[in-house]
């Protein structure tokens, strides 16, 4: 995008050209939800300008409310800036919705070699937002995170986590794609069917897990780390925030820990969980089971997505071999890791 158009957009957020020291295109850092991403250096600090299409804007209002709440309780997050009209977004003539927030300096989690210090500080911020909202649906309701308000606060309701719901639906998907799976991954499909049966029997024990505000998308791209001290500076992008099992966010961190060298995983897990266990009773004994459930859901979501493509498209896009290869590779990795669990 031309600089004059960026300047025009920044004026809508009450930023004058005279304040701007530099504009840096962060195209290599933008995620799937941003079409444009710029770092704006001004005299006082730095800002982050995002451009999104309409279908990418859905969770932003949720993120604004959540970030305000976090900042009030000294949990670092991006502060959103208002436009001349007093709104938090500006839509231009091309249909791009622009958002401006504070820029938090630091390295992307995937760019640093995480240490025990990294996980200790991550636990500090997570402990704070979980403890503030644990079994406290009123706060979460106020933030607008309750998808089904009538059910908030009901301790023994049916499982509401979409990952769990997806797993229960996948049994039908196995039947829908029987021919594809029996040809490509017969052993893996059999093991997955057994996994689903076992999950149905054991799922009731997850019904009473305590709920809180959760980020719901804690991953490499949403954790900002000081590259020198290796401490976490902020957890960003709360677009997927919701009220659900507090253990879910902790389980997502287990994904990161298990990507570290095997000899370091125990120390990192201890550094992360110890501060949380001191203050929060969250059934940590179920973490490993939840890890398997979420990882299985993620892998088989990918497998079934590509089976759906084969079912819909056949080889009309000349990508049949590619789709089949992805299915085989993902299923084999899952079987090697979780088969007979």
Tens of pLDDT, residues 86-126: 999 999 888 889 999 999 999 888 889 999 999 999 999 99
Chain segment 255-279, per-residue pLDDT in tens = 999 999 999 999 999 999 999 999 9
**Residues 155 and 259 grouped into a single domain:** yes
Query: Can you give the pTM of this predicted structure?
Result: 0.86
178: confidence class by pLDDT, cuts 50, 70, 90 = very high
Residues 73 and 125 in one domain: no
Question: Residues with Cβ < 8 Å from 144, sequence gap 6 or more?
Answer: 61, 62, 65
Show which of 54, 84, 105 is a domain's final residue: 105
User: Both 96 and 126 in a single domain?
Assistant: no
pLDDT 10s digits, 181-199: 999 999 999 999 999 999 9
Instruction: Provide the pLDDT for residue 106.
Output: 92
Predicted confidence (pLDDT) at residue 158 exceeds the cutoff of 90 = no
Q: In this structure, are 291 and 308 located in the same domain?
A: yes
Q: What is the CATH number of the domain that holds 74?
A: 3.30.200.20
Same domain, 50 and 82: yes
- The 3-class secondary structure across the chain, one letter per residue, is CCHHHHHHHHHHCCCCHHHEEEEEECHHHCCCCCCEEEEEEECCCEEEEEEECHHHCCCHHHHHHHHHHHHHCCCCCCCECCCCCCCCCEECCCCCEEEEEECCCCEEHHHCCCCHHHHHHHHHHHHHHHHHHCCCHHHHHHCCCCCCHHHCCCCCCCCCCHHHHHHHHHHHHHHHCHHHHHHHCHHHHHHHHHHHHHHHHHHHHHCCCCEEEECCCCCHHHEEECCCCCCEEEECCCCCCEEEEHHHHHHHHHHHHCCCCHHHHHHHHHHHHHHHHHHCCCCHHHHHHHHHHHHHHHHHHHHHHHHHHHHHHCCCCCCHHHHHHHHHHHHHHHHHHHCCC
Q: How many domains does the chain have?
A: 2
**Same domain, residue pair 127 and 84:** no
101 & 180 share domain: no
Is residue 177 domain-shared with residue 31, that is, in the same domain?
no
CA pair distance 182, 334, nearest whole angstrom: 17
* Domain end marker among 46, 74, 105: 105
Residue 99 to residue 81: CA distance in whole angstroms: 8
Q: Which domain holds residue 9?
A: 3-105
Per-residue pLDDT band at 286 (split at 50, 70, 90):
very high
Residue 120 and residue 226 in one domain: yes
Polymer length of the chain: 341
pLDDT confidence tier of residue 150, bands split at 50, 70 and 90: very low
Domain boundary residue, one of 105, 135, 167: 105
Determine the pLDDT at residue 139.
84
Domain harbouring 217, CATH code: 3.90.1200.10
Number of Cβ within a 10 Å radius of residue 25: 13
Q: Let me know whether 95 and 217 are in one domain.
A: no
Same domain, 332 and 219: yes
For residues 140 and 64, membership in a common domain is answered with no
pLDDT given for residue 197 in this prediction: 92
């Amino acid at each position: 995008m031309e600089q004059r158009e960026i300047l025009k957009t920044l004026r809508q957020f009450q930023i004058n050209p005279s304040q701007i020291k530099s504009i840096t295109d962060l195209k290599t850092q933008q995620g799937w939800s941003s079409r444009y991403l710029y770092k704006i250096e001004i005299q006082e600090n730095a800002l982050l300008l995002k451009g999104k299409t309409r279908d990418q804007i859905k969770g932003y209002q949720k993120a604004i409310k959540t970030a305000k709440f976090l900042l009030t309780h000294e949990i670092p997050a991006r502060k959103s800036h208002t436009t001349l009209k007093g709104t938090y977004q500006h839509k231009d003539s091309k249909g791009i919705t622009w958002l401006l927030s504070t820029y938090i300096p630091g390295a992307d989690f995937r760019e640093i070699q995480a240490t025990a210090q990294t996980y200790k500080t991550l636990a500090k911020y997570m402990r704070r937002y979980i403890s503030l909202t644990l079994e406290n649906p009123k706060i979460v309701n106020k933030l607008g995170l309750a998808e089904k308000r009538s059910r908030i606060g009901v301790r023994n309701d049916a499982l509401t986590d979409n990952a769990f719901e997806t797993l229960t639906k996948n049994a039908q998907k196995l039947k829908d794609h029987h021919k594809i799976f029996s040809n490509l991954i017969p052993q893996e499909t059999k093991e997955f069917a057994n996994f689903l049966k076992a999950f149905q029997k054991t799922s009731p024990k997850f019904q009473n897990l305590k709920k809180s505000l959760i980020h719901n998308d804690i991953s490499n791209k949403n954790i900002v780390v000081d590259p020198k001290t290796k401490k976490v500076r902020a957890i960003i992008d709360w677009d997927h925030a919701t009220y659900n099992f507090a253990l879910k966010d902790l389980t997502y961190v287990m994904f990161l820990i298990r990507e570290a060298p095997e000899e370091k995983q125990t120390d990192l897990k201890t550094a992360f969980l110890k501060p949380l266990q001191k203050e929060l009773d969250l059934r940590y004994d179920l973490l490993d089971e939840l890890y398997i459930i979420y990882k299985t859901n993620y892998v088989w979501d990918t497998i079934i997505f590509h089976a759906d493509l084969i079912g819909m498209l056949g080889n009309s896009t000349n990508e049949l071999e590619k789709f089949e290869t992805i299915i085989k590779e993902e299923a084999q990795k899952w079987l090697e890791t979780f088969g007979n669990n």
